[in-house]
Amino acid sequence: MPIRLNLDRIMLERKMSLTELAERVDITLANLSILKTNKAKAVRFSTLEALCRELKCQPGDLLEFVDKE
């Protein structure tokens, strides 16, 4: 997927663990792991909103377009 989620970088900057973020955003650890490893095919606005709220960032900080060519 050319769209990447920089969740691991922002979590590192905020010094927040995966378990803590999962509890705050109210999604399962398995689903958060799918997001973190860039295996997700789609992200709901509600999930993105919760992530931005808890990580205190903008959607643009989380999402990145990577041109493979």
Partner 1 sequence: MKLSNNLPGNLRFLFGFLRGFTIFGAVVVFIVVVLIPWLAPHNTAWKHMDVLAVVRLDFEPGVYRVQATKAAVGDVALTEIRGSLAVNRASADAELAVLSCWLFFLRTTVELAFYYVCLDLLWRLCRNVERGEIFSESNTRYVRNLGFAILVYQAVACAAGFWYARLIDGFLQHRIVAEGVKLRLHWGMGVFPLDVSLIVTGLLLLALGEVFRQGLALKKENELTV
Nearer to partner 1, 35 or 55 (CB): 35
Site string for partner 1, 22-41 (x = CB under 8 A): -----x---xx-xx---xxx
Residue in this structure with the two tokens 């691991």, named with its chain if needed: 8
Give the list of residues 6+ apart from residue 64 with CB closer than 8 angstroms, or none. Answer: 3, 4, 5, 6
User: Which of residues 50 and 57 has its CB atom nearest to partner 1 in the complex?
Assistant: 50
- Expressed in angstroms, the distance from the first to the final Cα of the chain is 12
Interface with partner 1 by CB under 8 A: which residues?
27, 31-32, 34-35, 39-44, 47
